[in-house]
Structure 1
Amino acid sequence: MDNYSQLSHTHFQYKLWRNEVEMIKQETDFFLTIINEIPDTDDTAYKTEKETFINQFHHFQRFATHVLEELDNAEKNLAESVVNHKTLDKEQKLDQKYLREEVDYFEQDYREVKSKFRNFVALSDALPVD
């Protein structure tokens, strides 16, 4: 793979990851809106589960911000490589591997919580009826 192709491929991966993380961030905003519309009940277990989801969605938002900042830094380094006609150095390759693992873990963890949240909403008797 020539220098430009290698850098272009890496840039494409970063764009893809950025898009996925930004979508998760938007979706967590939506889920927080939904969960705040669910009235509280006297059921302690229900309240605890609701609060747990709120905390998890806030965690995902913070983590998404962190990952997006890391992607910004990686893309700046990548841009410098393009300008200087260089290939990815060892540190950039390690950064790319680390980011891939971080995004993969983030998405996997998020999908699991999202699935549980959908079940929580589906089984909720406290949802308002429009």
Structure 2
Amino acid sequence: METRNNAIIELRGGTIGSVNDQSSAEESFQNKTLRPILKFQNDLFIEVFTNYAVKQKGVFFTLSPEKKMAYIENTIQRDIKLRNSLKGMVIGLFTTDEYVEYIKNSSNLNKRMMNMLIERFKSQVLLFEVAS
């Protein structure tokens, strides 16, 4: 098990953002665990969302940039299947200790995770193109 934990931490990289004694447990988890995973999985997230948009009749690709932002937010907040898939892509890269920490406060951490993903998608909205 220790080999898996070490490999995961090495693979996804270290803390992104500051963590200090004044940081809340959620903020520490966000910067030590969630941010590195979201960065590491970014290309996969882009592909997953692009595929989702194509399967939804491609409406997303015809929208103005402002409406694309709203679509992203709406979709991630309302489509439980997509949400759970994205969440699983993050949780799958937790170490066992991180998972134990996560389940103590999963509701708040899920909100943070999804909000960070929404912001990540919005900031990269130009990367979403119809798959050829």
TM-score when normalising by structure 1: 0.26
Say which structure is richer in helix.
Answer: 1
The structure with more radius of gyration: 1
TM-score, normalised to structure 2, is 0.26
Which structure's relative contact order is higher, taking Cα pairs within 8 Å and 6+ residues apart?
A: 1
